[in-house]
Amino acid sequence: MLKLFLPDEHVNSIFDIDPIKLKDRGIKGIITDLDNTLVEWDRPDATPELIAWFKKVQQQGILLTIVSNNNEKRVKDFADPLGTPFIYEARKPMGRAFRRALTDMKLRGNEVVVIGDQILTDVLGGNRSGLHTILVVPVSQSDGVMTRINRSIERKLFAWMKRKGMLYWEE
């Protein structure tokens, strides 16, 4: 059961994920979280660096869908200027939004990675759905109220997993 909380990969930033290497591994789609994964939770727009990364993803023919627990306005206002499909109020870690993203992209689970900054939503949800998960270090150290609660639980999980030798990276 604890394996559901372990990501398949861990990187410092979304920019450490190379779309060319994803394509070489047979990846055709990315499901990504928004807040504190792509940009700070309170930043309304994509940064120029993120826009360039999205273009690299598109150049590789990889589809991208933003799946966020945030409200429609927040996610739509961010995703629309990028021309990126999105699912809001996803209720991660529940699997419905992940299944919908796969269906919308017309891809199978082995062709998609999930990228996110939270173990209790992104990693757990992706793993429960049988998808390859990549945990990124949060873009910002500040969080909304619910996320602060999750982070507290995650710190305890990390400490326990580290003592058990399950973690292969430093926090």
- Write the pLDDT tens digit of every residue in 17-56: 999 999 999 999 999 999 999 999 889 999 999 999 999 9
Confidence bin at 142 (pLDDT 50/70/90): low
Average per-residue pLDDT for the chain: 91
Domain boundaries, the chain: 2-163
Q: Mind listing the pLDDT tens digit for each residue in 73-97?
A: 999 999 999 999 999 999 999 999 9
- DSSP code, position 78: H
What is the model's pTM? 0.88
CATH class of the domain comprising 2-163: alpha beta
Determine whether 161 is exposed, middle or buried from the number of CB atoms within 10 Å of its CB (0-12, 13-18, 19+).
middle
